[in-house]
Every structure is written in C-alpha cells, then in structure tokens.
Structure 1
C-alpha cells in the first residue's frame, strides 16, 4: 500500500477520450455560435441550427431516423421513458451495477426501479431479469457499460416475449456496436451522455435515439416544455399525436450542438484505435492466467480493458500498484451497487419514500468488487501502451494466480 502522505502519482497519459482530442475546430465552432448571438436552439437573430445538424448526423452514425438532443444523459433517459409512454408507478428493471442517473431518470418519469443481477460482462445478466417481470413491469434498461455492449439479443428476446419496452442506456458507449448494429438502435429507444469523460463531449449533454416516430414526438415535446417551440414547426419535425401535455426544459444549447458535431467524425477512428490498444494489451499478457471481463461483442467494443481479480482485496492491491505506476485504474463504481447508495436503498425521492429497501445481489456485488478497469486515453502513444503492459504484468505476476489473476 502507498503512504497516505505521499502525493499521488499523476497519470502517465490523459485518461480521456473525446476531450483529449479537442482543438481549434471546437473553438471555432463555439465562437461562430457566440458571434451569431443565437445560443438557443429554436430561434435567434442568426440561428445556425447546430443542434438540428448534430441530431441529423448523430442519427446517421447510429442508424436511426430520429434523434433528440437534450441537456444530459439523465435527461435523455427521462425523455426516452416519457417518449415510450411510461405510466405512473410502473416498474423499470435496471442492472444493479450502473450509475445513479439510471435510477434518477426512472424516478423523474414517475416509475419505480427494480434491480437485477449482472454477469461477468458486468452488464445485465440476460438470464437473471426475467423472473423479476411482473404485471407492473413497463421496461428494461440494459446498460452498455464502459464502452462494451450488453448482450442484447437474449435481452430483446425476453422483452418481446413479455411485451416489455427496451431502453438502452448507451451513456458510456457512444459509437459502440453490437453484432454489426450501433448501440442505441437495438431497443425501442437509446440514451446517450456527452458529459466530460464520454467519447464525445460538450461538458454536458445527451441524446435520445429511436426508430419510433411517436416516441420521438413525445420525447421532443417533453424536453421542450411539452412542445413550446417544437410543435410550432408543424410538419417539418412532427405532430402532436395524443394531445398536449406538460413537459420540462431539458433542451440542448447551440454551443453544445456545435461542439459535438465537430467530434463526430473523430469517433469511429478513435474507437478503432482504443479497441486495438485493448486487444494488444490482452494479447501481450496472454501468458498470464488473467480473467478478463466477458465482452458480448469484442469486435464492436470501444476499447474496454477490465479484468476480474480473485477478490476485493486483490482488486484494491492491483489498483494501488497501477496508479502508483501512473496508470489510471479503478474498480468500477468503487465496487458499489447502485442500490447501495443510501437514498436509492431507502427509496427516498424528493417528495416521498417510493419503495422498500431492495434485497442484496451478492453475486453482482462480488463481481463488481473484484473488477479492475484501466482507463485508455485517446492520445496514448505506443510507449504508453508498453508501459501499461509492463505495469499490469508487474501488478499481476508477483502475487501469483491466487491473488492477481485467476
């Protein structure tokens, strides 16, 4: 263990993706919007329509006809649930290993989360969530975690069997594919995040993707105060099927749209490079008895490098040793299930207690707790890759198979 009084070792490389590639193009795009004095997406003295352009290009990249740019990934999940028509009090099944925004979105849409086990992919176990289906179940929310897709084919099969909606949380997987298809295009809707650490970023932002025009119409109206400006554009962007309803203000700004549009062309080659880096590292360590995270589709991943150690103590030791060597590493979510957050566990929302404490999922807790993820950065050099390989070997070999690798 390192001395707590010793200053932390700075990372050898920037553990960022989209942000690491920022340059003059982002600056020029933002300045152009500022000089237009038209920062609001629906009107202005010289409107650039940057959000609309981003929506069109993002839809083409993800092979969906409809996209709604919004203010965050959590907003995207909320708008998608509203778009799909979630009834008040309906249940949404979510994996136990995920970000709290999944739960927040379900609550914001007046739903109730139900927590399901993960498997060695660290995503929703396709065999574990069907027993949780009840007459109150409205949707399931598979999470594409850390740039790897959940195993969607069996998830979709169970959902179709029970008539359940599928909302893909692709916040951590922009540009990732599953068996040839982009994540966010497989279910009834997808939700993306453009927060600072994501594959493309505007600091904040999100998007809803869908092939269903009614889901799109409802999601777009909800993020715009129920359609304050969206519906005023008539046939160009959609109608008002189902009658008017109240919404919220979750709109994306023109600056965010401009910044994100710049980065779209960089996304596929960046993910290819990161996927190649991850593959190289695993190959160079193939002589070790390492259990890597299961990837339902390695060819479509965005460069995940996560291993499963023997236990939590081994995971802490490996993380400590890697970070001391300047390699950015961590256990996902510090090894905590989302239901272990005190507010989530107690079902405390801003207005009431909405559910009783869920049962512990000890298999999922054990899997997440013994995980170690190495963050791969978009500007990594070949020397950085070699350093990660050497550092992982040093962290795994001395402790032997019982501690460092399985």
Structure 2
C-alpha cells in the first residue's frame, strides 16, 4: 500500500515536532537521528541519511542512515559527493541509469536504490558541511518531485544551523576532556605512574557505572572526570610521593592531603565536568564503613562517583606494578574485594565488579603499560 503525501497541516506538525526535538537534543548522534527522521517523514521516503564531511580523511560519512550502520565513501564520489562539491541539489528517478550512483553502497547494505534526492546544507557562514539524502519514494508516484526538493531544502536550511551548534558544543566538551586527561596524567607522571593508569581508571569507572544502573550521560560524565582523581598529587613532595619504603605517620598524612588539594583546585568551577572531578578527587579514598579519608564519610554519604572510582582505582592499583609493590594476580585481587565488601567498598558495586570483570580485563589488556 502506498503512502500518502502530507497535507500542509501534517507537514507543519512534523516540522514543529522535530525542530523541538532537535533543539532539545544534547548530542550530535541525537540531532542526526532527528534530522534523518524528519526528512524521511516530510517527503515520504523509505530511507534518509545525513552525510557529513570528514576533511582530514577526505571522506563523506553517515552514522545515521536508516537500516544500516556507519557508511564511508571517498569525498566527491557518488551522488552525494557530486551534490556537496557542486553545492546543488540532485534528483534522480532511477539511480542505476545514472553514472554518478555509487553502487558499492548498495552492495554493502544489500539494499536496492531506485529514486534519490540529495540536498546539501550549510553552516551559519554559508559553508557546506554535509547533505541530506533520501532514497526511494513511497507514494504512488515512485520518484521525488520539485515539491519534495522544496520540503527537504527547508529541513536542510534549519538542520544545518542546528547541527553546527551541536558540533561546536561537542568540540568544546572534547577539548575539556583532553585538558582533564592531560592534567590527570601530570599527577601520575610525578608519582612515577603512566598515563595509562588514569585512562584505565576512566574506562573501568564507565563500565562499573553502567553496570550499576547509571545513565549513559552520568557514566560518560564520570569517565571524563575521573582522570583528575589524583590531581592533588601535584602538591605532594617527590621525596614522599615516590618513597619506596614504608611511609611514616607524618608522611602518610601528607599523602592523604592530595584529596583535599584536588578538591580545592576544582570545586570552584561552574562547569559540571570540573565539579564532578572535584567530587571524585575528594572522595575516592572514602570507605563504606567510614574509616576512609579525608572526611570519614560512610555508606551513601559518599557520592556514587566517589564509590565507583574507589573500586576502579584500587583494581588498577593492585593490577599494576608500583615502586613499592609488584602487581597482584587476579585471584588475590578478587579475594581482597570479597574481604573488603561492606568495609572499604559498597557491596552493590562489588557485585557489579564481578559481573563486569570480563569487560574490565579486556580494558586492562588493551591499555597495558609498556615498559
């Protein structure tokens, strides 16, 4: 049964619904999904893809194409490449009678392309940053028309501007992550550890957070912030930080101060990322039974981010060689976690640890220190 063209009222509803969704989307993936769905519904297409330009690799790619995963093609190839280079929309009634059609995409997906409409879109400066491409008209007239071009051009005009805004936001977040990771590595380098320690703790924390039931957004926030857990070590003297023998009580108190120092460095920020890093820096040495430091918090008084990082940090600390100890075998680490359940660690998180242990071991192997 053929689909019917949208009435003007239905078209307006689709536009209003999707512009609201796009405006409230928090990440690039969500924006691209809404863009593809909006285009598909507006012109009654079977599939819709949103193509973006990967300038460093001279490719075009789409992570959102109905029915398939990511696709990549050489920049300038295919109908979408031709449209982006020329800056002009393209409508084709029968793709296999057009030399510009890249049949490799159909071979990759097992899908038969017939009719195509492609419309490039620009950012606020008027530079082309990608293109809409809809495939196979679902109405009785089985090809795209000038009216479809008008509708899809309208969607492209709005979506291109929104897409640039989200891409800029994600670039800022990526920059923050890079800075945080680098700063975290500074603390580890001073204590003769490698940058892989903070990377592993970040990845362990992410897996445990998801296993515990935190949202993807919360788990990602923790993964990004956790490299700063030991940033306070930058203020600890080398003579104490790298002492191979047993610390005196006075030296141990100095070591413990890195939690407060880290928190003080970070907690004044208005950025959620740095506020989260402050929590992790201050609380990752607190213990479930209240015997930890610096504040002697217990149970759920300890923020879940602090509790998760404690598990991740101890797992990595025991797994790795340090100046003062060899690496522990896995069975010895697991025995310690069992013994410290309800004392050092949140019992529920230890259940998650054992459940997710295969994933943690994959991460440990992937990010192994190179001597």
**TM-score exceeds 0.5:** no
User: Which interval holds the TM-score relative to the shorter structure?
Assistant: under 0.3
TM score, norm. by length of structure 1: 0.25
Structure (1 or 2) with the larger CA radius of gyration: 2
Q: Determine which structure has greater relative contact order: mean sequence separation of CA pairs < 8 Å that are 6+ residues apart, divided by chain length.
A: 1
